[in-house]
A and B are shown apart, each in its own frame.
Chain A
């Protein structure tokens, strides 16, 4: 039960990739933060929440063989750092593909899937994952 409020608070970001934009330098960040790591105090009061488009390309990726218990049914799975078109980098699973179908630069878009379940009677957590827009040429 203790995790329900914590996840609930993050739902806008988990469901709809709500990040922030620093109106001092124009950089975007995800997840939301209250101070820009580049502009520091100059960004105070200038960090605005924005919905990111959810489109980007793979910046780096790895295939996970040993997973946390709650997603053991999904292993092996691909974990990637995705560079969004706004410039923010987001870590997330890339699904509906095999690792060998992906490479650095593969375009992806965000989608919503189950992240984990707190057992058979607990809360189900939903959030963003990425799907490839096109797979690597054979």
Chain B
């Protein structure tokens, strides 16, 4: 059975803040920070948005583009490290909001920034084994960065949803491979508001080792090279890391550009590779091959080899906003408003 993507949808909040604006508050050269991270601005959720509302927006955009009866969805998995509830699954609200409830299984996933792609793999297994007809995999986050921390310049919000099935797939998922170790590069303890990280330790032994191992593992198993792919998308905690890892793996800038969103929306954590993949599907043509590697701290990587099918020609992409559409009509915030939006101000009643 050929399992793949039947439909997809994306969502990114309209609010943005620049590294210069953040740096101004903390006595940091925001321009240099922007250049170093390759991030010109990052998305910010409004006070009425969270991982659940982002997941619902993405899932509804996904359903707008297909004729699938929501009652045929057998599973919904929401991958995020910012689920609004510690106990009460985000997916239950998504299931009700797209009218897929009650005859389905739902669970929330967490694996730092790759929980969304872990959800895709789970749906692939359930569809491929015939246990369910369709599964929904969502990667979404309203990621946290402590005030003044390096993460604050990149941690942003957004997400994408994928309907995984075996009929009328717009792209087949030909192969997936994961690489996992115990690497404590980034973590957040129960009850803590902000994550902590190992600074430079998040680079070579964490991001680069796992992304490169995941990518090489998949290239070997599919007997392909970078040149065989039209597009590539890598986890993007900033613009610099995926650009450098792509070069190391032999991918050209042209293959990377479409799915590289960090420079304009920041690091959407679990939403990063799903959103990059959505941006690629916004413009992909039949026969195009996509190479995707998500990375989650802790640490692991999920790699995917995807081929776009002829179905994409008749697929109504226009029925929901493209990632480019979601990156327009922006409103830039000053730091004070951003701090209020993100709950960084301690109120008198607290």
Contacts and interface: CB of A to CB of B under 8 A. Distances in A.
Interface stretch (B21-29, B50-58, B153-161, B303-311): B50-58
Given A11-B96, A16-B99, A126-B93, A96 B53 contact: no
Nearest to B13: A96
Contact of A95 (B48, B52, B97, B341): B48
B84 interface: yes
A62 B243 CA distance: 47
Given A73-B340, A124-B84, A124-B85, A114 B48 contact: yes
A51 B70 CA distance: 14
Contacts, number: 48
B52 A74 contact: no
B14 interface: yes
B52 A126 contact: yes
Contacts of A136: none
B46 interface: yes
Contact of A15 (B47, B84, B97): B97
A12 B99 CA distance: 9
Interface in B53-86: 53, 56-57, 60, 84-85
Nearest to B84: A124
A115 B350 CA distance: 20
Contacts of A126: 52-53, 56, 93, 97
A71 B14 CA distance: 20
A112 interface: yes
A129 interface: yes
B107 to A, nearest CB: 19
A74 B47 contact: yes
B334 interface: no
A112 B97 contact: yes
Contacts of B84: 124
B96 A15 contact: yes
B97 A74 contact: no
B49 A114 contact: yes
A16 B340 CA distance: 29
A73 B84 CA distance: 17
Contact of B53 (A51, A74, A113): A113
Given A15-B96, A96-B14, A126-B93, A114 B50 contact: yes
Contacts of A111: 57
Contacts of B99: 16, 51
Contacts of B329: 96, 135
A107 to B, nearest CB: 15
A65 B108 CA distance: 37
Interface string A85-114: 000000000011000000000000001111
A111 B341 CA distance: 19
B48 A74 contact: yes
A112 B47 contact: no
Interface string B90-103: 00010011010000
A20 to B, nearest CB: 17
A129 B48 contact: yes
B56 A112 contact: yes
A129 B57 CA distance: 12
B85 A113 contact: no
A114 B51 CA distance: 10
Contacts of B350: 120
A114 B48 CA distance: 5
A110 to B, nearest CB: 10
Given A96-B14, A124-B85, A126-B53, A113 B97 contact: no
A15 B97 CA distance: 6
A113 B49 contact: yes
A113 B99 CA distance: 16
A16 B48 contact: no
B340 A112 contact: no
Interface string A11-31: 110011000000000000000
Interface of A: 11-12, 15-16, 51, 71, 73-74, 95-96, 111-115, 120, 124, 126, 129, 135
Given A16-B97, A96-B329, A126-B52, 18 more contacts: A11-B96, A15-B93, A15-B96, A16-B99, A71-B48, A73-B47, A73-B340, A74-B46, A74-B47, A95-B48, A112-B56, A113-B48, A113-B49, A114-B47, A114-B50, A120-B350, A124-B52, A126-B53
